[in-house]
Structure formats: C-alpha cells, structure tokens
Amino acid sequence: MKRLVLCCDGSFQNLESYPTNVVKMAQATQHVDEAGVAQIVYYDEGVGASFFLSGIFGWGLETNVHEAYQFLCMNYAPGDQIYCFGFSRGAYTVRSLVGLIHYTGLLPRRHLQQTGTAYRLYREARKTPEAVAAFRKQYGAFSVNITLLACWDTVGRLGVPVVIPWLPFDRWANHKYRFHDTTLSPL
C-alpha cells in the first residue's frame, strides 16, 4: 500500500510563486511516512502559470484533469490510498478528477491510451449506466475509493451544474466524511 497525493494549484500559481496551501502540502509530504508507507506526490501548476491568457480564460483545465488521471493510472495499485488537494481552479481539477474516477473507474496502465475516451464518457450529458459499465468491463477499470478530497477557494461556477437551486443535491453526494470551515481564521 502507498499513498498517492495529488496537489493541483490555482490560476497563475506554480512552485516559484508565493507558496499556496497546495504547494505547502506538496512540499510537506514526506517520501515515506513514520509507519514506512510510501507517499508519491504529483504537483500540477495552475492554468496560466506559463501563459497569461490561459489563466484568464481557464484554458488547459481539461489537460490538467487528463494529466492527473494519467498519473493515477500509471501509479495506482489496488489498496493504495488517494489524496486530492486543490486550490481555486486546481480545486475544479481535483473535483473533476474525482468525478471522472467515480463514473469510469481508474484505467490500468496498459489501457492508458483510453484516458481521452474515459473523459469524453464522463463529460457526455446523456451517458447511460450501460455505456459506463461496458467501458469499465472492456478496459478493466478499477473501482477506487478516494481517501480525501480537500479544496480551498473552489471555483463554484465550474463542475457540477446547479439545475434546480432549491434542491440540495449535495445531500446525496457519495461521501464518507464531509466538513467545511466558513469562518475566518483568528490568526
């Protein structure tokens, strides 16, 4: 068993910027914890870190999701734990990644070339349970539980659409633990 720790940063952020919580998490994670468990960190700089207009318009978000998914496909083994941290548009990235894994599963590395197909199936508005089941069976996708999804300043207008504002869809979310802090820190 090992831990796969994904750290996805916000717009215009990278390792050379003023360190965000995502950078601090990536830097603080040891290669091996006190119990001897290996921890592999994936850091993804925010959109716009290398091209200004990407940060303004969010270009590259889909690529960030693909790259994080491919990292997991290359490194995951049954029994591993997955921790996802995201800030701002990086929060969108990890939320989309977790949604992608929930629907299509995690592909074994021998089917890495099908990550685009998995993403298209996930984004398809009229996907059927039969199509998802057929995809999972054909490519041997793993059913994976995400150990932690942690987001700071998530981009609310991206991700799950609000179809009926007064209907609380989040009550039915597939989650084991849920918490959030809406108060300002006393520091």
Domain ranges of the chain: 2-172
Residue 57 has pLDDT above 90, yes or no: no
Give the CA count within 13 Å in the CB-facing half-sphere of 69: 32
What's the average model confidence in pLDDT over 86-97? 90
37-50 confidence digits (pLDDT tens): 999 999 998 754 45
Dihedral (C-alpha) 31, 47, 10, 34: value to the nearest 10 degrees? -10
What's the average model confidence in pLDDT over 87-116? 93
